[in-house]
Structures are given as structure tokens and as C-alpha cells.
């Protein structure tokens, strides 16, 4: 008996570890709680085991070798509320199924911009706009600025021309600088990329400036984060007063390889809404064909994943010499190198070639019909019309302006899981953008336009302008999370260096014989431009939470920059913010049901960001030229050893409210930003002989109220209808000009954009005529304030609706309170084709003096534009079998409707938006510019 007891005890001791060592798999699926649609890429995590994974394209996941037991599982996905539940593993194969609810206000979303690494939105004291892949999938294949235009609630994105490759004017929270562009800094996968809207030695084609933003590839984008400025951009220091756009590309998901093919084809027609004469459209415009084809693939395992996309597109344009061909590739790879290190790399390449016509303030523009250069088209008889049509199309067909862009981007990142709650990262990346602009004016062109007489030979002109840009980014950072009692801590620290190198060359050859494309065949002159900028800084950010209800943010960045003067110390940009999630308090929940108010969140912050000076402006430079065929030296840049960056201080106070079961969601923010040490390119006294120089002189103030709302009108298993709208107010003023005399930043001598104390940046200054009742001139008010190109009110509108397999998206935007200059009407006046706004009696009295009559051509520039109507339909599964997972067909209309108070297109008033590379441009001058065209396309997307 004793032996039996002994053997039994020994057997029990051996069996216990065997039982305890039993493991199984946890298999499951994740679906959209409303539609039942499988969700790929969802994060699955078991905190007790520090184990996790992601769902495959079918929404399935499998976690192997899980010891038997009960665990807390956390399921999170962008655009959905995080779900935490208990799961039990008690057999070799345990199965679970989860449904996620849409996070309509995005409080659980992880935000990177301004934080260094992902932090839940509900902990942030600043407002960050996030655009998900799901939102972008509802849109047709468009370029980056059009995606931003449809989704950013508190910024304006305006197309400055309908010609290919031209710049977009992006403006959020006013104009914080009288020197620097309003375009935000752009990052792709953590790498700073070129966002220049024009380069110094570009071939002037009448203000149709090229944009580096237009050729940022949109393939494989996972999400976009946009911050308008203020405390949220402190992390980016001397480069972020205009805000930050962060683009994150897809890294692939675990599971079998998936393939997607998408193709679209359609027609493009000119927008004729703002033409004075029907004859202009009849002569110049004809419909064009547009088509694009895209192939993408993704897949992988926990050890390795990949994502790839390539596209080809062609656009015939709506007029001669406005075609474009574009090819792009983007790929991303991720690999688990070991338990400590994970690698993620992305690569992007784009090639774009396009042709362009003369634009705006150029005497060779085809739009000279609008400016009255050929008389009054409405008075032409049939023969005159035919003659003018043949004449105009003759030289338009001979116009040869082309540009090509080659761009390569890469980001290489290592993520380190040092220990629980402590991670680190290292990022290195490059952005290489090479662009070349070519202009060829043959003898035939010069003769056709009348520049030279018939029979002229060897008088052609050939010019080439090239820009080679190389940007490098190095960044390292670490993140630590901790919980102590009721307190939680998220700490981010890091350092960053970026370096920009530019090389530009402009060569012009005259007396070039027809048929030659060699600059050496004529008399050549050349100019070059070189610029290098280096910025390096370090930051520390802390986010402290108390009981997940009250949060305090604080931090700072220290910066040095090669554009600072020698006597300028390291610049410090601090921030502080607070968030109170009032609806998380027990007393609030006890008194107000969540079905009435589910979220009430208050926030406030204060922070500084900067704009560094134009490189080399801090140095004393000479200008080398020639005089009587010998070298001559004169004053160049005056230099300033104390030249500092502009510092923009922003205070924000706001709140987020969601009620009626999240059916109504509101975001309200009041802000005030003050730019001190504002950089003015102000003139010296004439007696110095120094001309003008960049100096820290002024103070600029912007303030406004931002209100954005999303309203769920209807929601059921089969259908959902959402409306969204935003209203933004803006007050902009130069409150101190630092005793600088008023100076122009754009426009013309008789009517320009000016900087002066007490007025908005770029206000219109010119002579205002006062007429008597009999039409004679009573008074001419000299150098009066004639208007403001910045709106008092702007925003956007949108509708998204789903019914079964249909989805509809409509977007629009508007502005009120801005003014613009009808420059075409000015030139019609000079050509004797008048519209009566200047009385005949005044002309008889003063003659055709457009300087005296400047104010009559200022018009209100209010508008409402419907940007997109898009309808998609996903075919039921019975229509496809086998390898095909889904088929979606769609149709869209871009820019279908325009409503405006002005006779000109109030959007495309940015011709010549900046006098200098990277300079400020507020637009407001409407002259002979092609409006964004209407485009009607159909497409099909097949997923395998």
C-alpha cells in the first residue's frame, strides 16, 4: 500500500507540469459591427503574454501556443473604437468572433504628429485631422492636394491653375509670415520632403509655377495626419509655423498575398463658367481623354510583410499643349529581425512629363482673347471669327513649353523593443527631386505671333531651367510608458537633423536655327543658383494622465539652423497643454446618460513654433556682374549676425462634444497666433545703396474660431448617411511693422499686395476713384486699402452615404469676405473693350489712366464650389467566383458646379503666388488663367 501511494504521488507530480504546459491556438475574426464586412489589418494583443498579431485581408487571425487560461484581449483599428474583452483558451483550438463599432469622433485613434510616436487622441490637447485609407478609398484616384481639399476642415486648399503640375495654395489659420510660404511642412514615413511651389531660376511662363506637392505619390497611403500649427508642431521647431502634413504608407499585413487592380477612364472638359466671351472657349478648348491604371499587392507573415503599388496615367488636357503622362512606383517592406529589432522600409519613385501653355501676365497667352488683345470677340462676323481662330490656333500649336520631373523617396526605419513599455526608433531617409523646364520658341512661332517679320531666320530662342534637390533626414527617438497608481506617463524624446541641398541652372540661347535643340547652336547665357540648409534639434515631450480623465502635456524643442545669424543662440520652442475628459467622470455618467452625451472633452494649449530665414540671408554677400565687359562688384546681401527665425506663439482653447449616441459630433477651437520677430524683406534707406534685406522687424497676428461638425442622419445595418460641415473665421493683421516703410510682396505697380501696419498681409493697395453722379471724377484717394485676399469665413461641406453595396461621396468648399482683382478687365479697358464700370465722362476727363481707376477692378471673391461627386457599387459575390474577392465599379465628377460672386474664377487668383522661391503668396490676381477642369470618369477595382 505504501508503494502504491508513493507511485501515485510521483505520477501526480509529473502530471501537473504536463497539464500546466498544455497550450492551444486562439483563432478568430473581426468584422465591422454595422455592415459585417471583414476588417484587415486589425491589431490583436494579449497584454498578459505580450503576444499579438494582425488580421489578414479576410479579417481572420490566429495566435499559436497560448497556454490554457483566461486572458484580456485588446482589439484596435484606426477608425473604430478599441475593444477589450475576456477570452478563454481551454482546448487545442479556441475560436472567437469580434465586432468593432466605428469611432465617429476618433478618440481612440493613435496620433503621431506632434508626439513623436503614437498617442491616443483623447490624451491630446491639440486638434489633429486624420485621413484614413477608408476615407481615401471612397475617392477617385487624385493627387495629394485634392485629397487634402476634400478632408481638411480648418484649412484652405486652392488650385492656382488648371494647367498640369501647377502649385496649390494651402493655407491654415491665416498667414503667419510676410516672407515664407503658407504651405505646411510635408513628411512621408517620417522623412521631410520637398514642398517648394516654385524655384528661383524657373522659366517664367506668366505665373504658372510648378509644385513639388503635386508630384508626391499617393500610392499605398495608409493615412494622413494634418496639424494646422501651434503647440502641436513644437516637435518640429524652426520649420513648422505653417503646420505639418504627415503621410504614412502601407506596410502590408500578415496573410496570403493579395492583389488589386484598378483602372479608370474618362473625359475632361474645360470649365467655361468664368469666361467673358464664348468665343474663347470655342477656339481654345476641346474635350480630352484621361485614364489611369494601378496595380497593388500586399501580404506576408509575422516575420516579413510587403506592400507594393504602381500606376500609369495619361491626361490629354482640354487645350493644346496641356497634356501629361505620369508613372509611379511605391513599395514598402517590414521584417522582424529578432526579438529586439524590427525593420520597415519604403521606396517611392515618380516620373512626370507634361506640357503647358503661357499663362496670366504674358503677352503670348492664348487667353489674350479674354483680355481684349484681338478686340471685342462679340463683334466679330463669321469671317473674322474664322480668321482669328486660324491665327490663334496657329501660334498655340507652335507653343513648346514642357517640363519633366523625376523623384525618388525612401525611408529606412528600425524599431527597438528594448523592454516592456520602452521602445526606440531610428529613421534615415532621402528625397531626391530633379526637374527640368524647357522652352522652345522657333522662328515659325515668332513669325506666327508677330514678334518678328515673315522670312526671319535663325532668331529662335531655346532655354532650359533645371533644379536638382536632395533632402536628407536623420532622426532617432525613444518612448517610455509607465503607470503609477492613478497616474499614467507617456514620455517621448528624440533628435532630428535634416539637410537640403539645391542646385539650379538656367541657360538661355538666342538666334537658334529652326530644328536645333542644342543650346550651343545659339548665343548662350547662363545663371546658376546653389543653396544648402542644415537644421538640427532635440525635443522632449511628456504626457501625464490622471485616472484616464485629466491629462497634462508639456515639452520643448531646441533648434539650431545654418540660416541663423552667428550671434543667435539655440532657439527653444516650449509647449504646455491640458485635457479634461469630463464625460469620463463618475458624477457625470451618473447624471447624464451616455445615450445623450457620450463625450465631453475640454482642451487648452500654448506652444511656439518657427520659420527659419531664407538661407544665406544672414551672411554678407557681394553681387558679381559685368560692366563694360569687365567684372564689377556691388552690394548683394547686407547680412545680419543677429538674424533669427520667426517665432509664432499660439494659444488654443476648445472642446469636443458627442451626443445622441454619437450621432452628432462637434469640435470647437478658438485660437490666437502671434508671430514675433517677423521677417520682412524691407528696403533700406536709398542713401545706403543696400536695396532691401531680410530683417526681424514685425509682428503678425491671426485669430479665429474653428467649428467642425459631423452628423449621422441615418444609421442601420443596411444604410448610413453622414453629413459634415465646417465654419472657420479668420482675422489677420500686421500689428507692428517695426518702423519699416510699407512694401509690396506681389502684384503690379498700380495695384499690388502690400505689407503695412494695421492691415492684413498682402492687402490690396492702389488708388480709389470716387465718381460724381454725372460720371466725372470727384476724388482720387491715393494708395487706399482696396481689399483683402484673405477670407473672413471659409470651410467645407460633405455628404457620405452607404446603402447596401452602394456608396456616395459629395464634397464642397466655400469662402466669404475675400476680394480679388479682375486683371482681365484691366487689360480690356486698356484695349478699349470696356464694360462700363469706368464712366465715359471719367475717361474723357482723365484719359485711359488705369492707375487712377485701380479700385474699380476689385471684386468680392466669395464662392461655393462642389469639388466631387463620387458613386461606387460593389458587386454581390454571386457575380464573381474563385480568386476574385471583390469587384467595385464607380463613377465620379470632379469640379462639376461653381457658384461665385465675381466675374472671374475666385480660386485661380494665385498666378505669381510668390516673388521668390519659398516666398509668401496670398493670391488675389485673376488674369488669363485656366480654371480647374471638369472631369467625368468611370472605373473598376478588382481585388484578388
Question: How does strand 324-336 pair with strand 341-355?
Answer: antiparallel
Residue 785 belongs to what H/E stretch?
A: strand 777-787
Which of 135-139, 140-144, 257-261, 459-463 is predicted with the least confidence, judged by mean pLDDT?
140-144
The pLDDT score that the predictor gives to residue 11 is 44
pLDDT, residue 345, reads 94
- What are the b/e assignments for 365-379, b being 16+ CB within 10 Å? bbbbbbbbbbeebee
Q: Work out the average pLDDT over 245-249.
A: 89
Q: Which residues pair with 568 in a beta bridge?
A: none
End-to-end CA distance of the chain: 69
Q: Alpha-carbon distance 554 to 305, whole Å?
A: 36
> What does the pLDDT look like over 334-390, one tens digit per residue?
999 998 999 999 999 999 999 988 876 666 677 888 888 888 999 999 999 999 899
Strands of the sheet with 743-747, listed across from one edge: 743-747, 751-755, 763-771, 777-787
The answer to whether 112 and 413 have CB atoms below 8 angstroms apart is no
- pLDDT on residue 370: 87
pLDDT range class, residue 637, cuts 50, 70, 90: confident
- Helix (H) / strand (E) element for 4: namely helix 2-20
pLDDT tens profile 789-823: 999 999 999 999 999 999 999 999 999 999 999 98
For 269, 715, 828, 891, the CA distances from 894, given in Å and listed in that order, are 10, 27, 31, 10
Please, are residues 357 and 366 in contact by the beta-carbon 8 Å criterion? Answer: yes
* Radius of gyration over every alpha carbon of the chain, rounded to an integer in angstroms: 31
The chain-wide mean pLDDT, for the chain, equals 86
Is the per-residue pLDDT at 710 higher than 90?
yes
Query: Are 723 and 710 in contact, with CB atoms under 8 Å apart?
Result: yes
Query: 80-104, pLDDT tens digit by residue?
Result: 878 888 888 888 888 889 988 877 6
Q: In 647-698, which residue ranges form alpha helices assigned H by DSSP?
A: none
Lowest mean pLDDT among 415-419, 602-606, 655-659, 661-665: 661-665
Residue pair 540/558 in contact by the 8 Å Cβ criterion? no
Burial of 480 (C-beta count, 10 Å sphere; 0-12/13-18/19+): middle
Task: Tell me the pLDDT tens digit for each residue of 473-503.
Answer: 999 999 999 999 999 999 999 999 999 999 9
3-state SS, residue 628: coil
Give the Cα separation of 555 and 274 in Å (integer): 50
Phi/psi at 827 (nearest 5 deg)?
A: -70, -30
If you average pLDDT over residues 431-454, what whole number do you get? Answer: 86
Q: What is the pLDDT of residues 168-179, one digit of tens each?
A: 788 888 899 888
The model's pLDDT over 228-244, given as tens digits with 9 standing for 90+, comes to: 876 667 778 888 888 88
Q: What is the pLDDT of residue 223?
A: 86
Q: 621: closest CA among 531, 516, 548?
A: 531
Digit-coded pLDDT (tens) for 308-339: 899 999 999 998 888 999 999 999 999 999 98
Amino acid at each position: 500500500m505504501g508503494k502504491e501511494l508513493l507511485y501515485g504521488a510521483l505520477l501526480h507530480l509529473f502530471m501537473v507540469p504536463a497539464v500546466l504546459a498544455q497550450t492551444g491556438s486562439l483563432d478568430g475574426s473581426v468584422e465591422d459591427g454595422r455592415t459585417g464586412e471583414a476588417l484587415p489589418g486589425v491589431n490583436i494583443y494579449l497584454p498578459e503574454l505580450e503576444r499579438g498579431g494582425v488580421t489578414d485581408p479576410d479579417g481572420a487571425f490566429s495566435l499559436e501556443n497560448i497556454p490554457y487560461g483566461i486572458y484580456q484581449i485588446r482589439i484596435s483599428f484606426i477608425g473604430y473604437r478599441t475593444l477589450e474583452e475576456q477570452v478563454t483558451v481551454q482546448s487545442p483550438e479556441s475560436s472567437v468572433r469580434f465586432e468593432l463599432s466605428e469611432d465617429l469622433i476618433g478618440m481612440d485613434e493613435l496620433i503621431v504628429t506632434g508626439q513623436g510616436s503614437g498617442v491616443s487622441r483623447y490624451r491630446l490637447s491639440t486638434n489633429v485631422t486624420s485621413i484614413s485609407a477608408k476615407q481615401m478609398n471612397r475617392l477617385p484616384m487624385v493627387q495629394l492636394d485634392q485629397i487634402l481639399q476634400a478632408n481638411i476642415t480648418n484649412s484652405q486648399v486652392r488650385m492656382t491653375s488648371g494647367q498640369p503640375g501647377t502649385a496649390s495654395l494651402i493655407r491654415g489659420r491665416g498667414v503667419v509670415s510676410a516672407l515664407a510660404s503658407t504651405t505646411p511642412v510635408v513628411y512621408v514615413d517620417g522623412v521631410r520632403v520637398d514642398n517648394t511651389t516654385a524655384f528661383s531660376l524657373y522659366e517664367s511662363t506668366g505665373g504658372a509655377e510648378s509644385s513639388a506637392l503635386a508630384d508626391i505619390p499617393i500610392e499605398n497611403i495608409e493615412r494622413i495626419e494634418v496639424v494646422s500649427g501651434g503647440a502641436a508642431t513644437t516637435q518640429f521647431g524652426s520649420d513648422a509655423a505653417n503646420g505639418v502634413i504627415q503621410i504614412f504608407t502601407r506596410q502590408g499585413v500578415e496573410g496570403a498575398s493579395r492583389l488589386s487592380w484598378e483602372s479608370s477612364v474618362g473625359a475632361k472638359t474645360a470649365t467655361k463658367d468664368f469666361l467673358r466671351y464664348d468665343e474663347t472657349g470655342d477656339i481654345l478648348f476641346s474635350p480630352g481623354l484621361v485614364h489611369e491604371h494601378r496595380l497593388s499587392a500586399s501580404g506576408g507573415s509575422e516575420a516579413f510583410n510587403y506592400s507594393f503599388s504602381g500606376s500609369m496615367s495619361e491626361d490629354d488636357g482640354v487645350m493644346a499643349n496641356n497634356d501629361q503622362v505620369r508613372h509611379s512606383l511605391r513599395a514598402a517592406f517590414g521584417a522582424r529581425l529578432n526579438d529586439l529589432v524590427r525593420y520597415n522600409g519604403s521606396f517611392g519613385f515618380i516620373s512626370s512629363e507634361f506640357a503647358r501653355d503661357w499663362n496670366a501676365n504674358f503677352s503670348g497667352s492664348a487667353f489674350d482673347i479674354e483680355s481684349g488683345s484681338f478686340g471685342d470677340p462679340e463683334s466679330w462676323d463669321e469671317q473674322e471669327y474664322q480668321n482669328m481662330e486660324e491665327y490663334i490656333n496657329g501660334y498655340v500649336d507652335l507653343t513648346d513649353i514642357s517640363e519633366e520631373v523625376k523623384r525618388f523617396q525612401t525611408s529606412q526605419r528600425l524599431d527597438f523593443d528594448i523592454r516592456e513599455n520602452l521602445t526606440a526608433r531610428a529613421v534615415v531617409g532621402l528625397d531626391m527631386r530633379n526637374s527640368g523646364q524647357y522652352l522652345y520658341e522657333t522662328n515659325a512661332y515668332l513669325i506666327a505671333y508677330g514678334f518678328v517679320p515673315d522670312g526671319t531666320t535663325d532668331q529662335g530662342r531655346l532655354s532650359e531651367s533645371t533644379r536638382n534637390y536632395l533632402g536628407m533626414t536623420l532622426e532617432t527617438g525613444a518612448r517610455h510608458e509607465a503607470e503609477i497608481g492613478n497616474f499614467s506617463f507617456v514620455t517621448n524624446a528624440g533628435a532630428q537633423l535634416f539637410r537640403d541641398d539645391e542646385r539650379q541652372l538656367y541657360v538661355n540661347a538666342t538666334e537658334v536655327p529652326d530644328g536645333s535643340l542644342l543650346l550651343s547652336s545659339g548665343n548662350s547665357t547662363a545663371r546658376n543658383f546653389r543653396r544648402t540648409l542644415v537644421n538640427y534639434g532635440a525635443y522632449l515631450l511628456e504626457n501625464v494622465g490622471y485616472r484616464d480623465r485629466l491629462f497634462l502635456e508639456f515639452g520643448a524643442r531646441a533648434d539650431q539652423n545654418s540660416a541663423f545669424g552667428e550671434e543667435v543662440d539655440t532657439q527653444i520652442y516650449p509647449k504646455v497643454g491640458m485635457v479634461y475628459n469630463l464625460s469620463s467622470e463618475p458624477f457625470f455618467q451618473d447624471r447624464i446618460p451616455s445615450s445623450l452625451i457620450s463625450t465631453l472633452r475640454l482642451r487648452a494649449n500654448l506652444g511656439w513654433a518657427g520659420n527659419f530665414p531664407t538661407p544665406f540671408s544672414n551672411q554678407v554677400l557681394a553681387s558679381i556682374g559685368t560692366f563694360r565687359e569687365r567684372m564689377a562688384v556691388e552690394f548683394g546681401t547686407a547680412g545680419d549676425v543677429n538674424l533669427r527665425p520667426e517665432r509664432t506663439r499660439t494659444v488654443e482653447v476648445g472642446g469636443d462634444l458627442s451626443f445622441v449616441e454619437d450621432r452628432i459630433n462637434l469640435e470647437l477651437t478658438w485660437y490666437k497666433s502671434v508671430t514675433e520677430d517677423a521677417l520682412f524683406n524691407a528696403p533700406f534707406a536709398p542713401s545706403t545703396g543696400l536695396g532691401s534685406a531680410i530683417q526681424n522687424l514685425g509682428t503678425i497676428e491671426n485669430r479665429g474660431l474653428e467649428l467642425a461638425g459631423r452628423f449621422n442622419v441615418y444609421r442601420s445595418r443596411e444604410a448610413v448617411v453622414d453629413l459634415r460641415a465646417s465654419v472657420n473665421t479668420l482675422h489677420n493683421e500686421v500689428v507692428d511693422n517695426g518702423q519699416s516703410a510699407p512694401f509690396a510682396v506681389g502684384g503690379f505697380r498700380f495695384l499690388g499686395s502690400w505689407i503695412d501696419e494695421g492691415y492684413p498681409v498682402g492687402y490690396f493697395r492702389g488708388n480709389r476713384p470716387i465718381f460724381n453722379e454725372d460720371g466725372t471724377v470727384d476724388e482720387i484717394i491715393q494708395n487706399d486699402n482696396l481689399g483683402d485676399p484673405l477670407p473672413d469665413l471659409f470651410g467645407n461641406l460633405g455628404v457620405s452615404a452607404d446603402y447596401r453595396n452602394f456608396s456616395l461621396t459629395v464634397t464642397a468648399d466655400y469662402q466669404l469676405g475675400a476680394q480679388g482683382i479682375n486683371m482681365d478687365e484691366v487689360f480690356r479697358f486698356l484695349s478699349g473693350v470696356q464694360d462700363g464700370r469706368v464712366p465715359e465722362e471719367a475717361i474723357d476727363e482723365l484719359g485711359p489712366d488705369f492707375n487712377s481707376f485701380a479700385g474699380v477692378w476689385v471684386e468680392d471673391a466669395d464662392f461655393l464650389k462642389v469639388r466631387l461627386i463620387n458613386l461606387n457599387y460593389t458587386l454581390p459575390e454571386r457575380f464573381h467566383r474563385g480568386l476574385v474577392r471583390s469587384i467595385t465599379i464607380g463613377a465620379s465628377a470632379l469640379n462639376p458646379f461653381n457658384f461665385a460672386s465675381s466675374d472671374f474664377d475666385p480660386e485661380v487668383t494665385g498666378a505669381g503666388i510668390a516673388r521668390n522661391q519659398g516666398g509668401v503668396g496670398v493670391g488675389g490676381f485673376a488674369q488669363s488663367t485656366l480654371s480647374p477642369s471638369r472631369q467625368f470618369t468611370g472605373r473598376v477595382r478588382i481585388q484578388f
